[in-house]
Amino acid sequence: MTQAPKTELFHTVTEEVLEQLRTLLHAQGHGALATLSPEDGFPQATRIALAFTPDHVPVSLVSMLAVHTPALRNDPRCSLMVGEVGRGDPLAHKRAMIRCKAVFISREDPRYDNIRALYLHHQPKAKLYVDLGDFSFVALEPIDIRLNGGFGKAYQLTGDQLTGRAPI
């Protein structure tokens, strides 16, 4: 039952790996979000719909009726898991976990119009409720990312590497 030290678990990140990650993210219109319950700190897993900005920041449109929204208003720490499962072992399929800080985008924010247009381009059905009072846009600013490309193929990147603000 020997276990490798944690630092040995991750493969070297290359430009190709970064491209794989970005392709994986932009192919997805939804993800699983982990947040903390404002009542008792219990971890919560919920579905959110997604779009990605040109610099690869996940954006969602969230309802106050969903458990993640008051959770993010209370504590902006969250993790987003993205990736599809196909045939065979569910763990053999690629997924990324992005640890994020949630930043709500108010209607007065200069970024609001761009984010609204980007989001509706990727989630056209959201036109039905985007302007209702209990919906808000939230950007999930990436802190770090674990890309899991199947057994034994794990990579770790910083949020700045994902967005292109830092080299790999």
Binding positions for a second copy, rule: CB under 8 A? 1-4, 9, 29-36, 41-50, 64-65, 67, 77-81, 83, 85, 88-92, 95, 97, 99, 123, 125-126, 133-134, 146, 148
Distance of closest approach, residue 161 Cβ to a second copy, in angstroms: 19
Distance of closest approach, residue 74 Cβ to a second copy, in angstroms: 12
Please say which residue, 121 or 167, places its beta carbon nearer to a second copy. 121
Please say which residue, 30 or 164, places its beta carbon nearer to a second copy. 30
| Alpha-carbon radius of gyration of the chain | 17
Please say which residue, 36 or 105, places its beta carbon nearer to a second copy. 36
Give the residue carrying structure tokens 């590497």.
161
The Cα 17–Cα 59 span in angstroms is 22
Distance of closest approach, residue 21 Cβ to a second copy, in angstroms: 16
Q: Which residue in 95, 90, 75 sits closest to 24, CA to CA?
A: 95
68's enclosing H/E stretch is: helix 68-74
Q: Which residues pair with 51 in a beta bridge?
A: 59
Q: Which residue in 151, 152, 149, 115 sits closest to 18, CA to CA?
A: 149
Please say which residue, 132 or 164, places its beta carbon nearer to a second copy. 132
Distance of closest approach, residue 151 Cβ to a second copy, in angstroms: 8
